[in-house]
Amino acid sequence: MNIASTKFLIRDRGGQFTDTFDAVLADVGLRVLKGPPHVPKANAHCERFIGTLRREFLDRTLILNERHLRRTLTRYLEHYNGHRPHCALSQLCPPQVEAGPPRPIDLAEHRIHRTAVLGGLIKEYEMAS
């Protein structure tokens, strides 16, 4: 990570972070943003997503450089927000929440199209037209 391009640091309100810690970061030009007070679940949601990102993507991918990381991470996030089912959404993907759950179909009557994402690491399925 290039520190010159970093503009801020998001941190919790833990006691291990002192005013001196914030002052050192301010001296190098970083703006410190503190998480909301008395919201212990804020970190849990972030940590859960980071765990998912690591298990499903980063632990299975060799990242070559920052450009490669940004490109593949963008594609993974498109998959995550557009196709991947979420536990908190009753196993629906975000677009299905607005439209409602899909109706059951007989797969014997339809052809299924598989799309390889991220070089085949992830596969997305849809009915072929």
Question: pLDDT 10s digit of each residue in the chain, 129 long?
Answer: 555 677 888 887 878 888 898 898 888 888 998 888 877 777 787 888 889 999 999 999 999 999 999 999 999 999 998 888 888 888 888 888 888 888 888 888 889 899 999 988 899 888 887
pLDDT confidence of residue 11: 82
Contact, 93 vs 103, CB < 8 A?
no
Domain ranges in the chain? Answer: 1-37, 39-127
pLDDT confidence of residue 62: 93
Q: How many Cα atoms occupy the beta-carbon half-sphere of 16 within 13 Å?
A: 2
What's the pTM? Answer: 0.63
Pairing between strand 112-117 and 122-127? antiparallel
Distance CA 43, CA 30 (A): 21
